[in-house]
Amino acid sequence: MWGTAASATQAEGAAPASDWWEWERAGRAPLSGDGNGFTASFAADFALYAGLGLRHHRMSVDWARLEPEEGRHDRAAVARYREIITAAAEAGITPWLCLHHFTLPRWFARLGGFADEDNWRRYWLRHVDFVAESFGDLARGWQPVNEPNYYPRITYGGGPFPPARKDADAFNRVSEGIHLATAEAALALRATGKPVASIYGLSVPVALDDSPKTAVRVGNHLADHWSSWIGLVRDGVLRIRDRPAIDVPHLANVFDLIGFSYYRTTGIREGEIVPYPSGAPLSDMGYAVSADGLRRVLSKLRDDLEGTPLLVAEYGVGTSDDDLRARYLRDGLTVVNTAISEGVDVRGFFHWTGVDNYEWMRGHEVSFGLIGKDRAVRPSAAILKAEAIG
């Protein structure tokens, strides 16, 4: 499966009823505007993807557009998303749908979001059922929640997403909630008969010294980004740091594929994250551009989830240097092909992203696309096209 991935807020702009819209208006983030103009150009974008042989596309259907007020669904928004998903299929693109990519309806956020179990069990699972009913006939696959292992850090771990607080108790409750909510969504969506993949944000930490601070940071990274969800999807046991384990055997093996995003290797020195490997070129996001970390991720997944089908759900680099993007793509594909030759069951490769989009706190400054906002196809796209078509 060769494809691209995008999110609603980044491609369409913030929904007026979302927490991110409010965040922008409070001056906490750059204005997203119309994202990359996808709402007006989706049919042409799908034709570009198909021409590149990238015939799978993951998009998110924005909860805040579908249910701007609690209990009130916007039928025009449903119709618009159905039009977009239908256009994808007509262009020869297999549509995968994501239900949550970082932003929330304000009404749900104000009720506590995923930090409150009663809250998400009532409203989130109702939303999952609504999406399955509204789009299940058109979707060809599901990737329910984007990076649930990363979401707690950017919201309650001092990160820049609303409410942007550093609160250890809320961090743990959101961690439990978002992981369980993701797995429950996967279980419900499998009932549609369509494949369900995860999207965990993965990197393998590399300790660059033996300081106590580094040891703690490495341990927390492995606990938050690996141990929690692996125990959940493999064994039906969720463990969030030092909180009591939660036994949920019905949630073991809920994913047909374990999908993940990869952007960097996490080097840790004196307890701080630093670019690794040293000497590698840096992306516009400040990440060391090296595909060796992808090798590390695939190796750990092979060891921890032996025989499990895998999906590279996001791989890309934010840079204005398209030659660097091309090298990074070649290196990443070499890593994946080597892993396959060694018996790792990799089923697909999705590039982040197709068309340059809104990059959250960096606004419209960073280019992740194979295609510019002017819809000019970059030379690096030829690398994926050759693999996909050849």
How is 321-341 classified by DSSP, letter by letter? -HHHHHHHHHHHHHHHHHHHH
Polymer length in residues for the chain: 390
Sheet holding 272-274, edge to edge: 205-207, 266-269, 272-274
Domain ranges of the chain: 2-389
Q: What pLDDT score was predicted for residue 390? A: 80
Q: Is the dihedral of CA 330, 332, 333, 335 positive or negative?
A: positive
Predicted TM-score of the model (pTM): 0.97
Helix axes 381-389, 322-341, angle to 10 degrees: 30
Q: What pLDDT score was predicted for residue 362? A: 97
Enumerate helices (H) and strands (E) in the chain, giving the number of each.
15, 13
10-residue mean pLDDT series, the chain (390 residues):
98 98 98 98 98 98 98 98 98 98 98 96 98 98 98 96 96 97 98 98 96 96 94 97 96 98 96 95 96 97 96 98 98 98 97 98 98 98 94
Fold of 2-389: TIM Barrel (3.20.20)
Q: How far from chain centre, in Å, is Cα 156?
A: 18
Locus of tokens 């969504």:
185
Q: What pLDDT score was predicted for residue 93? A: 98
Which residue in 192, 163, 156 sits closest to 177, CA to CA? Answer: 156
Q: Which two tokens stand for residue 245?
A: 């384990």
Cis check: omega of the bond before 277, within 30 degrees of 0: yes
Beta strands in 178-271 (DSSP E): 200-201, 205-207, 237-238, 246-247, 258-262, 266-269
Q: What pLDDT score was predicted for residue 132? A: 98
Q: Which two tokens stand for residue 351?
A: 């590039």
Is residue 139 within 8 Å of residue 192, measured between CB atoms?
Answer: yes
